[in-house]
Chains A and B, each alone.
Chain A
Amino acid sequence: MISDKLNCMVVALALLTITTSANAWILTLTPGAKQIYLQVGNGTYTGGNYNAGGTPANNATINVVSLSVPAAALGNGTPQPMTSNSTAANSFYDGYNTCNPPNQVYVGGWARVPGSAGSAVMSVSTPANLVNGAGDTIPFSKISWASTANGNTTPDIAAGTFNGSSITLANIAVNTWVEDCLTFSYANSTTVAAGTYVGRAVYTLSLP
């Protein structure tokens, strides 16, 4: 009994010494990376929609919005509706029928950062003109768009008119999903040379 107590005493005295030298084992965690998702026209989610745990995937499709102005209406000032080859109707958020292609083009996106502050900026940029094979031009400013979505009369993405430069469409708060459907139209306010005029609008989502 005395021997056990002496052992304990030795342990107790030894602990007085080692406790002061005990270290903490340290793991240093670095935050997750920022993430953004932008969909213009057709997009891809794998594993189901967002609300079912799906995750976004790359979709290299570049959709086309076009029209053919009837000769009788050429330059008469009546805006001409444009249609697209987009088939994106349902939101990948929950599968809701958000847009009505081909007249409407789905545009949506989200951003994620470590934390809850900040926002991403969605914008679109174009060159000054659409150009045909002969070098004739139509200013991009002749094309406008309306913005809406089924079940949402207050668009998050602004309606507007291309200006041959960059236009801010929306500020997307982090960890939120923004989506709308854009309907394009051509002003048809001038007579232009015959031909197929082509130009590309580039949509960008940036997260500082």
Chain B
Amino acid sequence: MKYLFIMLTFISSILWIAPNACAATYRMDDSSTLPGEAQVKMHWRSLGPNPKSGNIIDGGTAVTIRLKTAPWLNRIGQIYMVLPQQPIGQVMVDWTTQGKLLSGSLISGNRTLVYAGPIQTPIIEDTINVQVHSDGTRLTSIQKLDFYFEIDLN
């Protein structure tokens, strides 16, 4: 009887916590993304500084995104790509996809929706062509941009 009481207490606690967990945002496992660390050689947008294009630098590369979605199979959610604020100031990123994920743009310190709908496969994979734009006068040494993905569950 005592054992049954403990079990019921445990289950009721889980049932109380679980709805909150469902509505929360979770960071996703993208450890299978290729390449996990891509090199982007930045180029000045203009040959010489000028008032129109200033000191903007651009660079681009292709990345195959692999998101592990198995924990949310048959759930409905929204997946976002996130880029935290950067020490080199505002970094703007835009990308095009092959269709599994949404094309879009992102400014550091924000997130952008890349998928919305039912999670029907354990992995969502897409190759994106990403372009990065930044202030070249603030990028004085190699800088790593740590992107990540998070999912909002309905």
Give the B-binding residues of A (Cβ under 8 A): 2, 5-9, 11-12, 14-15, 18-19, 21-33, 35, 37, 50-56, 110, 112, 114-116, 175
For chain B, residues 96 to 154, give those with C-beta under 8 angstroms from any C-beta of chain A: 130, 132, 134, 136-149, 153
Bound complex: CA of A18 vs CA of B63, how far in Å? 22
Q: State the majority secondary structure of interface residues on A.
A: mixed
Closest to B73 in A: A11
Q: A21-B29, A22-B27, A22-B28 are in contact. Are A29 and B142 (CB under 8 A)?
A: yes
Closest 10 CB pairs of A and B: A12-B21, A53-B52, A8-B18, A24-B146, A23-B31, A115-B140, A8-B22, A14-B71, A9-B18, A55-B47
Closest to B68 in A: A18
The 0/1 profile, CB within 8 Å of A marked 1, for residues 69-80 of chain B is 001100100000
Contacts of A51 in B (CB 8 A): 50-51
Bound complex: CA of A5 vs CA of B13, how far in Å? 11
Bound complex: CA of A28 vs CA of B31, how far in Å? 16
A27 near B47: Cβ-Cβ < 8 Å: no
Q: A52-B52, A53-B52 are in contact. Are A31 and B141 (CB under 8 A)?
A: yes
Closest to B66 in A: A25
Bound complex: CA of A193 vs CA of B26, how far in Å? 89
B65 near A25: Cβ-Cβ < 8 Å: yes
Closest to A52 in B: B52
Contact for A27 among B15, B40, B65, B153, CB less than 8 A: B40
A29 near B148: Cβ-Cβ < 8 Å: no
A175 near B49: Cβ-Cβ < 8 Å: yes
Contact for B75 among A11, A30, A114, CB less than 8 A: A11
Contacts of A22 in B (CB 8 A): 27-31, 148
Distance from B8 Cβ to chain A, minimum over Cβ atoms (Å):
13
The 0/1 profile, CB within 8 Å of A marked 1, for residues 5-32 of chain B is 0000000001101110110001111110
Bound complex: CA of A11 vs CA of B21, how far in Å? 8
B31 near A27: Cβ-Cβ < 8 Å: no
Would you list 8 pairs from A and B whose C-beta atoms are within 8 A, ordered by A residue?
Answer: A9-B15, A11-B18, A27-B130, A27-B147, A29-B144, A31-B42, A53-B51, A56-B48
